[in-house]
Amino acid sequence: MMNPESKLIAAVDIGTTKVVAVVGRKLPDGGIEVLGIEKTPSTGVKRGVISNISETVNAIRMAVSSLESRLDIHITDVYVGMTGYAMKSFSNRTYKFIEPNSEISSFDVDQLRNDSYRISLDPGEKVVHVIPQDYTVDNESGEKNPVGMSGHRLEGFFHVVIGRMPIIKDIEKCIHRAGLNLAGIVLESLASSHGVLTDEEMEAGVVMIDIGGGTTDFALFYDGIIRHTAVIPFGGNTVTNDIKEGCSVLHKQAESLKKQFGSAIGSMTREDMVVAIPGMPGWEAKEISFQNLAYIIQARMEEIIEYIAYHIEKSGYYDKLGAGIVITGGGALLKNIAHLVKLKTGLDVRIGQPDTYLSKVVLPDEDNATYSTAIGLLLSSSLYTTPKFVEQKLFDTSVDEDRAESPKQKRNARTKSVKSKISKEAGYITGDLFGNLKKSIAGIFDEKDVEM
């Protein structure tokens, strides 16, 4: 959230292998100037989902404290990315009739979008994003901004992203226990896209692939609009585990082999090249063939690419991807990965890095592609805002019992929690009966195409 005095905006990328904290300054033209980045190892996250609260809190504190010390600032509010196997997305259509002799207003458009937040969901799910795609006014389709037009029937087509409420609550809990406020949550594939893609690529048609440690994020844009998102449940850690099992080495040795000597294509690797891995005490060193290592990596990467190809085909935009595929994240650093993706998909491929925003920043290392999500969180935070009535349900920024420091604060927190529960239960009796009936009726007319 932007500080009115310093114009600063901060974000935290809670990844499977690392936690990254980043701070930028909002520029008058709407752009972002990145001021600093810090990262720390992450051990409390598996496949993009928080599995250990205390370890994740410690990692967030370390990254944020290092950034505060280096820049001599105090960070209070942060945007956070969200991914993982529990994320789902689909297309939703809503419509309304316009009064005769009236123009379509921004209120009409907002009403359609808000209706997509009220769709029927499975227990424990919450809508995280509702992103407008286009509108239809009577028989005129493909309208991006129908405000001011005249018509009888207005239809809106939206990309809806939903997540599991327990996972959202765990993110909120970690941020709060780290002494921060949660300003908002952004789907990581959307964030990474804005970190590495150009407006021209989004217009021409492009797929963004972020190969992280636990998952691979997928986002497809066409005509400047997000058309398809997905989370593939494999990432760099899966490749490392394959090397560990295939070469019978320790996990840390497998990770080093992947980074230093790995390749995504076995046939492009020399057969006579080997590396000696020190054995455990009392055991001889183990020789690993570069080519065998590459074939192990290639097998898993081809599986990930098959998922990518599946989602491209399912989106219906394969023939419209004028800009091809952009790969980013830690997996983009793998040798020959772009060549393999091009061979398997038939599309042009490039490696995406957020260099445009990092020219004046001293980074901990030169692997800029690993910071795409963090940078993208700053750039996209204002693009995927959540209406207030939904935001109150997703985030509770009041002091809770976990954050309270003094006994008095804890008592007040408990009292407030009890009062809140009583109010919610009373509100459910009087209001949700009709709300549930409305959802049931609206669900008859919803057209959903579940992506995952």
pLDDT of residue 33: 86
Does residue 424 register a pLDDT over 80? Answer: no
Does residue 356 register a pLDDT over 50? Answer: yes
| Domain containing residue 226: CATH number | 3.30.420.40
State the average pLDDT over residues 9-35. Answer: 89
Asked if residue 148 and residue 253 are part of one domain, the reply reads no
Residue positions counted in the chain: 452
Name the phi and psi angles at 394, rounded to 5.
Answer: -80, -45
Does residue 429 register a pLDDT over 60? Answer: no
Asked if residue 207 and residue 255 are part of one domain, the reply reads yes
pLDDT of residue 421: 43
Asked if residue 340 and residue 208 are part of one domain, the reply reads yes
> Would residue 155 count as lying in a domain?
yes
Asked if residue 312 and residue 230 are part of one domain, the reply reads yes
Among 319, 352, 385, the domain boundary falls at 352
pLDDT of residue 401: 43
pLDDT of residue 408: 45
Asked if residue 273 and residue 331 are part of one domain, the reply reads yes
Domain of residue 99 covers: 87-163
Asked if residue 298 and residue 211 are part of one domain, the reply reads yes
Most confident of 24-28, 42-46, 235-239, 408-412: 235-239
Query: How many other C-beta atoms can be found within 10 angstroms of the C-beta atom of residue 110?
Result: 12
> Would residue 131 count as lying in a domain?
yes
Q: Give the pLDDT band of residue 295 (cuts 50, 70, 90).
A: very high
Domain count, the chain: 2
Does residue 195 register a pLDDT over 60? Answer: yes
Does residue 261 register a pLDDT over 50? Answer: yes
> Would residue 67 count as lying in a domain?
no
> Would residue 204 count as lying in a domain?
yes
> Would residue 422 count as lying in a domain?
no
> Would residue 327 count as lying in a domain?
yes
Mean pLDDT of the chain: 84
Asked if residue 336 and residue 214 are part of one domain, the reply reads yes
pLDDT of residue 360: 60
Asked if residue 281 and residue 216 are part of one domain, the reply reads yes
Asked if residue 265 and residue 135 are part of one domain, the reply reads no
25-37: pLDDT as tens digits: 888 877 788 899 9
Q: Which of 48-52, 286-290, 398-402, 429-433 has the lowest mean pLDDT?
A: 429-433
> Would residue 433 count as lying in a domain?
no
Asked if residue 226 and residue 146 are part of one domain, the reply reads no
Q: Give the pLDDT band of residue 403 (cuts 50, 70, 90).
A: very low
pLDDT of residue 2: 43
Most confident of 109-123, 405-419, 434-448: 109-123
Does residue 21 register a pLDDT over 60? Answer: yes
Among 330, 352, 374, the domain boundary falls at 352
| Domain containing residue 132: CATH number | 3.30.1490.110
> Would residue 312 count as lying in a domain?
yes
Does residue 181 register a pLDDT over 90? Answer: yes
Q: Which of 47-51, 109-113, 346-350 has the lowest mean pLDDT?
A: 47-51
Does residue 437 register a pLDDT over 80? Answer: no
Q: Give the pLDDT band of residue 419 (cuts 50, 70, 90).
A: very low
Asked if residue 222 and residue 156 are part of one domain, the reply reads no
More confident residue, 290 or 84: 290
Does residue 445 register a pLDDT over 90? Answer: no
Among 321, 352, 383, the domain boundary falls at 352
| Whole-number Å distance between alpha carbons of 438 and 251 | 53
SS3 labels along the chain: CCCCCCCEEEEEEECCCEEEEEEEEECCCCCEEEEEEEEEECCCEECCEECCHHHHHHHHHHHHHHHHHHHCCCCCEEEEEECCCCCEEEEEEEEEECCCCCECCHHHHHHHHHHHHCCCCCCCEEEEEEEEEEEEECCEEEECCCCCCECCEEEEEEEEEEEEHHHHHHHHHHHHHCCCEEEEEEEHHHHHHHHHCCHHHHHHCEEEEEECCCCEEEEEEECCEEEEEEEECCCHHHHHHHHHHHHCCCHHHHHHHHHHHCECCHHHCCCCCEEEECCCCCCCCEEEEHHHHHHHHHHHHHHHHHHHHHHHHHHCCHHHCCCCEEEECHHHHCECHHHHHHHHHCCCEEECCCHHHCCCCCCCCCCHHHHHHHHHHHHHCCCCCCCHHHHHHHCCCCCCCCCCCCHHHHHHHHHHHHHHHHHHHHHHHHHHHHHHHHHHHHHHHCCCEECC
Asked if residue 254 and residue 151 are part of one domain, the reply reads no
pLDDT of residue 388: 62
